[in-house]
């Protein structure tokens, strides 16, 4: 069980440590015969380089951290998957940090936890705001995701929420909806995402010459399908009439679908529904869910590009990038009414 070290291989092969190291790294200028001999020693001993030691010597860890609120939220688990694959492609490994939207855990991400452990951090904050982050952003290269915070000096990637909400609203308008609701405004949401989406929704209505009816802006208590369900159920009970809903979240949309189903309304016949995030949930509901689709691969690639530039030494002001989006059209809000 005693670990085999570089020097053990070197001794067995009768060469210097550096030569073994050269073989391990496929350094070109090693005589074929020697290379073979060293390789034989490596195989015989079952030598595996100690990555921690290599890291200390090189100063590079080859790891990046992804800090997200919840691993098992579909949006984030899908994002994680894309990032993991992009990382593999670029020769990095990913360590996932779950903040649970806890301010202390979020702060920990930026302060001591990652020191010397990773080359960089991609962080989707929920509770920390611009100034908090600006204050703590220290040595480790950092790229932010989402709408919660965007300090001037820190790189940042998000999608254009206003324009995406506009697209969703236009889609519903194009298919004939005239009384379009928005689900939902949330007291606990301090990320600003909802506001931007609400803005796009309003703009869409305006374009079509429709006045915003405050009754059509539904409020939910928390970010769950159940909360979405009760919000919509309550509106129906109040007698609010609507023929379309833009939801800020696929989970709300699922709740809305259920509420509509319970009240005997057909989707999309009576009410068309658009979700947000295009998680795989959208393909599993009945009817399947039309959903705003952030281009996750684009988002991840952009974030990684920025991060690698930081890792390479860029020290300038923060770059703020917009990743693309589209609308994944499914049964709940088809193209033709």
Give the whole-angstrom CA distance, residue 307 versus residue 76: 19
Contact 105/67 with Cβ under 8 angstroms? no
| Residue 91 touches a second copy, criterion: CB under 8 A | no
Of residues 51, 174, 188, 335, which one binds a second copy by CB under 8 A? Answer: 51
Locate tokens 């691993």: which residue?
A: 71
Q: Give, rounded to a whole angstrom, the gap between the first and last alpha carbons of the chain.
A: 68
Of residues 25, 89, 93, 241, which one binds a second copy by CB under 8 A? Answer: 93
C-beta of 246: minimal distance to a second copy in Å?
A: 19
Give the whole-angstrom CA distance, residue 227 versus residue 251: 9
Site string for DNA, 17-46 (x = CB under 7 A): xxx-xx-xx--xxxx--xx-----------
Q: Hey, what are 251's tokens? A: 């989970």
Give the whole-angstrom CA distance, residue 183 versus residue 181: 7
Of residues 48, 89, 135, 241, which one binds a second copy by CB under 8 A? Answer: 48
Q: Which stretches within the chain are classed as H helix? A: 6-13, 17-24, 32-45, 51-58, 74-90, 103-110, 130-136, 161-174, 193-207, 225-237, 250-262, 281-284, 296-311
Backbone angles phi, psi at 325, to 5 degrees: -150, 165
Q: Which is nearer to a second copy, 85 or 222 (CB)?
A: 85
| Residue 54 touches DNA, criterion: CB under 7 A | yes
| Residue 21 touches a second copy, criterion: CB under 8 A | no
- Give the containing element (helix H, strand E) for 62: none
- Give the containing element (helix H, strand E) for 117: none
Of residues 40, 43, 53, 81, which one binds DNA by CB under 7 A? Answer: 53
Give the whole-angstrom CA distance, residue 9 versus residue 6: 5
Q: Which is nearer to DNA, 31 or 312 (CB)?
A: 31
The alpha carbon dihedral of 162, 167, 170, 172 has a sign of negative
C-beta of 254: minimal distance to DNA in Å?
A: 48
Give the whole-angstrom CA distance, residue 206 versus residue 243: 17
Give the whole-angstrom CA distance, residue 230 versus residue 255: 8
Stretch that binds DNA, among 3-11, 258-266, 296-304, 321-329 (CB under 7 A): 3-11
Site string for a second copy, 123-142 (x = CB under 8 A): ---------------xx---
Q: Which is nearer to DNA, 50 or 262 (CB)?
A: 50
| Residue 192 touches a second copy, criterion: CB under 8 A | no
| Residue 85 touches a second copy, criterion: CB under 8 A | yes
**Binding partner of 22, given DNA, a second copy, none, CB within 5-8 angstroms per partner class:** DNA
The secondary structure of residue 267, as a DSSP letter, is: T
Kindly identify the residues of this chain, within the stretch 233-292, that bind a second copy according to CB under 8 A: 251, 254, 257-258, 261, 280-281, 283-286
In the complex, which residues of this chain contact DNA (CB under 7 A)? 3, 5-7, 14-19, 21-22, 24-25, 28-31, 34-35, 47, 49-50, 53-54, 56-59
In the complex, which residues of this chain contact a second copy (CB under 8 A)? 1, 3, 46, 48-53, 55-56, 61, 63, 70-72, 74, 77-78, 80-81, 84-85, 88, 93-98, 111-112, 115-117, 138-139, 225, 251, 254, 257-258, 261, 280-281, 283-286, 315
């Amino acid at each position: 069980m005693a670990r085999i070290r570089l020097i053990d291989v070197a001794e067995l092969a009768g060469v210097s440590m550096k030569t073994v190291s050269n073989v391990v790294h496929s350094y070109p200028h090693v005589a074929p015969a020697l290379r073979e001999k060293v390789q034989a020693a490596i195989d015989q001993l079952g030598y595996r380089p100690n990555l921690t030691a290599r890291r200390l010597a090189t100063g590079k860890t080859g790891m990046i951290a992804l800090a997200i609120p919840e691993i098992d939220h579909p949006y984030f688990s899908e994002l994680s998957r894309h990032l993991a694959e992009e990382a593999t492609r670029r020769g990095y490994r990913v360590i996932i940090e779950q903040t649970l939207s806890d301010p202390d855990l979020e702060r920990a991400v930026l302060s001591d936890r990652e020191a010397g452990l990773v080359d960089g951090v991609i962080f989707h904050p929920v509770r920390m705001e611009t100034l908090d982050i600006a204050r703590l952003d220290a040595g480790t290269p950092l790229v932010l995701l989402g709408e919660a915070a965007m300090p001037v000096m820190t790189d940042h990637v998000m999608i254009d929420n206003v324009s995406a909400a506009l697209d969703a609203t236009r889609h519903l308008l194009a298919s004939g909806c005239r009384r379009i609701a928005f689900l939902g405004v949330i007291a606990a949401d301090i990320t600003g995402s909802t506001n931007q989406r609400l803005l796009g929704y309003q703009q869409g209505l305006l374009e079509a010459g429709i006045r915003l009816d405050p009754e059509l802006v539904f409020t939910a208590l928390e970010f769950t399908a159940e909360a979405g369900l009760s919000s919509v159920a309550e509106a129906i009970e109040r007698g609010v009439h609507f023929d379309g809903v833009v939801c800020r979240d696929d989970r709300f949309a699922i709740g809305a679908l259920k509420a509509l189903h319970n009240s005997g309304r057909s989707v999309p016949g009576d009410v068309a529904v658009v979700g947000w995030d295009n998680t795989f949930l959208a393909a599993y509901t009945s009817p399947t869910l039309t959903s705003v689709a952030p281009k996750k691969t684009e988002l991840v690639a952009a974030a990684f590009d920025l991060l690698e530039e930081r890792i390479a030494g860029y020290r300038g002001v923060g770059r703020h990038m917009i990743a693309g989006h589209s609308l994944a059209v499914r049964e709940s809000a088809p193209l033709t009414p």
